Amino acid sequence: MRDLSKGPVGRQIFFFALPMLLGNVFQQMYNIVDTIIIGQYIGTEALAAAGASFPVIFVLISLVIGITTGITIIISQYYGAKDFAAVRRAIDTAFIFLFFASIGLTILGLVFIGDIWRLIGLPEHLVPDATLYFSIYAGGLVLMFGYNATSAVLRGLGDSRTPLYFLIISSILNIGFDLLFVLVFGWGIGGVAFATVLAQGIAFALSVIYLNHTHKLIRFSLRGLTFDSAIFRKSLRIGIPTGMQHTFVSLGMLALISIVNRFGTNTIAAYTIAWRIDSFAALPAMNFGLALTTFVGQNLGANRPERVKQGLKATLMMTAALSLSVTLVAWVFGKQLMGVFTSDPQVIAIGYGYLVIISSFYVVFSSMFVTQAVMRGAGDTLIPMFITLVALWLLRIPAAHYLSEHFGVQGIWWGIPIAWVFGLVASYTYYRTGRWKRKAVIKHSGVL
């Protein structure tokens, strides 16, 4: 566990973020291997079917992710204040909530998946593969939530290394199962989904065994679990806006894929590949943002608000440098990256067009994400939610729809950076007001 309220600010954030970044690189690597295996060994239609499933899965889990984020923020603030009894109760509350939430979401997804395909206009010939992939994935949500919740709790305690080790294990297992189930057993797209579920389930089981024998604050046992309703209410206050923000984003992805669907299988496949590459490129901003959220939570809990501004400045500089590097790679090697996933020249051309447009604005995206991370660390998640709502539904989706009608597929992609520019301006303007400081869970008189 790492106390982020002491020591050099930039160094603390960097070395806390680095294991998370490496872990997510491994996680994205096995997602990319999934996509490569589907594209090269199963086919373009299967690739499009899997791509259509991702936004639906994200819609299902987004609200729960937000509430879990709320609990994680509370854990970081209690840990910064050295209230370890409250930390223990918050951890128990998180796992109890996630268990029941995962069961409910699995049932919900399996019941309504057919209606969702019709709603987004998924081409009929892609429905069987998309349904198979989604059903297996949804059936493993309880294992995935347990695995990801463990990582989130550890990050709230300042431990970003242990989740890295289990991510590496999960990634290696997933790649091995992919090769076994698809290339040896010939299970097709269902094998890819089952490989992901099985790998995360094994990693979760190993993490439970390890933490029960080594960790002071985390003990997994059905006996003695405490559901703290007061902490849960606080987590809802903080987490629901973040969850709604995730939900708006995921619904926006669903709306975007419905626009993409109108342009046919090749465009869906190109978007699936380019989105995977784009997700990889966004990792620095997202992980440094997560690190900053924990950093802010601990420092406000420890009554050291002067370090927050220093942390934001240091994180903006680090993510800007990384984002510019990634942009350069996308411009120069974008076609080669697309070619790793597919040999179809039309799919490569469409995907490269996406990468050129989107990567040009990675610095804007990273600055927006990092600025909002400060607010979340303080427990102010409502304003970022409204900013996302406006950026997504009043700018990105209408712009993508309008521009696609006039400029074709390229017009869809331009809607994304338009929303990012607004999101950055609005987020930084609110940060400058300082009102987010009033939302901290741990109150210190005369400071905030």
pLDDT digits (tens, 9 = 90+) for 127-154: 999 999 999 999 999 988 888 778 777 7
Q: What is the pLDDT of residue 153?
A: 77
Smallest Cα–Cα separation from 77: which of 396, 358, 294? 294
Higher pLDDT residue, 254 or 71?
254
Q: What is the pLDDT of residue 242?
A: 72
What distances in angstroms separate CA 371 from CA 133, 216, 416, 431, one per listed residue? 36, 33, 18, 7
**Cβ neighbours around 156 below 10 Å, total:** 29
Q: What is the pLDDT of residue 448?
A: 42
Q: What is the pLDDT of residue 222?
A: 67
Q: What is the pLDDT of residue 446?
A: 46
Going by C-beta distance under 8 Å and a sequence separation of 6 or more, which residues neighbour residue 277? 32, 330, 334, 337, 338, 351, 355
Q: What is the pLDDT of residue 297?
A: 80
Percentage of the chain with pLDDT > 90? Answer: 35
Percentage of the chain with pLDDT > 70? Answer: 94
Q: Where are the domains of the chain?
A: 9-439
Smallest Cα–Cα separation from 393: which of 246, 220, 284, 255? 255
Q: With bands split at pLDDT 50, 70 and 90, how would you rate the model's confidence at 207? A: confident
Q: Give 107: exposed, middle or buried? Use CB within 10 Å, 0-12, 13-18, 19+.
A: exposed
The answer to which of 121-135, 289-303, 365-379 has the lowest mean pLDDT is 289-303
Q: With bands split at pLDDT 50, 70 and 90, how would you rate the model's confidence at 300? A: confident
Structure tokens at 108: 């919900």
- Average pLDDT value for the chain: 85
DSSP assigned state of 221: -
Q: With bands split at pLDDT 50, 70 and 90, how would you rate the model's confidence at 351? A: very high
Q: What is the pLDDT of residue 98?
A: 85
Q: With bands split at pLDDT 50, 70 and 90, how would you rate the model's confidence at 225? A: confident
Determine the Cα–Cα distance for residues 214 and 287; give it in Å rounded to an integer. Answer: 26
Say what the pTM is: 0.70
Determine the Cα–Cα distance for residues 201 and 14; give it in Å rounded to an integer. Answer: 30
